[in-house]
Amino acid sequence: MTADHLESRRQEIVRAALRCFAREGFHATSVRDVVRESGLSAGAVYSYFPSKAELVAGAVEPILEALIGVLDAVVTDTDESLEEDRTPAETVAEVLRRIYPIAVGGELDYTRIAVTAWAEGLRDPAVRAIAEQTYGTVRGRLTHRVARWRDAGHLAADVDAEALGQVLFSTLVGFVLQHALLGDVDLDRYATALCLLLPRS
């Protein structure tokens, strides 16, 4: 098989896994379920993903990469354009607005995948390691944004940028939870409300 063919086969398995995870959660999904869902042979699936942890990693990787890509684009925008300087909360609201159509606009609702991945991360160190790495990156970007905002004089010089980065991170994951579990949160209203936090001083 060509490299393109290999990659497209890999994608096919990832999509089958995502359908299973969205439906049943990570814990209740076995590699055998993914084999059945994909319509491929067990050997084919195992050759790409020798363990369930690798399947989980392969499944969440694209959305986590998209999230970090969106975040970087928004933070870079913010840092570079002095004209239209977003507050840290406006930065998070803009990330939410851009990631939302990617997360829930397709065949799958990634907010459901995320919630089930969190629970799996409590039990499976490999899944937890993915969460630590990715969420660590996201929080690092938010902390950086807060530090610049503080250093520009909008917050007191002794403000704890890391802790405030954790609070802002909560507004992202809290949206994910409310969307997946309660289903009554509206993106535009939430993002608009978010922008009221940490106003320009």
Answer for which of 42, 73, 152, 163 binds its own copies (CB under 8 A) is 163
Listed in sequence order, the DSSP H helices in the chain are: 3-28, 31-38, 42-48, 52-80, 88-104, 110-123, 125-151, 161-177, 187-194
Shortest distance in whole angstroms from residue 43 CB to its own copies: 28
| CB-nearer residue toward its own copies: 41 or 170 | 170
**Which strand (E) or helix (H) includes residue 124?**
none
For residue 192, CA distances in Å to 29, 57, 154 come to 37, 33, 20
Answer for which of 54, 105, 164, 200 binds its own copies (CB under 8 A) is 164
* Positive/negative CA dihedral, 77, 155, 193, 180: positive
Chain length of the chain: 201
Using the rule CB under 8 A, is 60 a contact of its own copies? no
Using the rule CB under 8 A, is 189 a contact of its own copies? yes
Shortest distance in whole angstroms from residue 71 CB to its own copies: 16
Site for its own copies in 3-22 (CB under 8 A): none
Site for its own copies in 109-148 (CB under 8 A): 112, 115-116, 118-123, 128, 131-132, 135-136
Q: How far apart are CA 160 and CA 134, in angstroms?
A: 21
Q: What backbone phi and psi angles, to 5 degrees, belong to 106?
A: -95, -150
Using the rule CB under 8 A, is 171 a contact of its own copies? yes
Neighbours of 75 (CB within 10 A): 20
Q: Write out the residues near its own copies by the rule CB under 8 A.
A: 24-25, 27-28, 89, 112, 115-116, 118-123, 128, 131-132, 135-136, 155, 159-160, 162-164, 166-167, 169-175, 177-178, 180-182, 185-186, 189-190, 192-194, 196-199
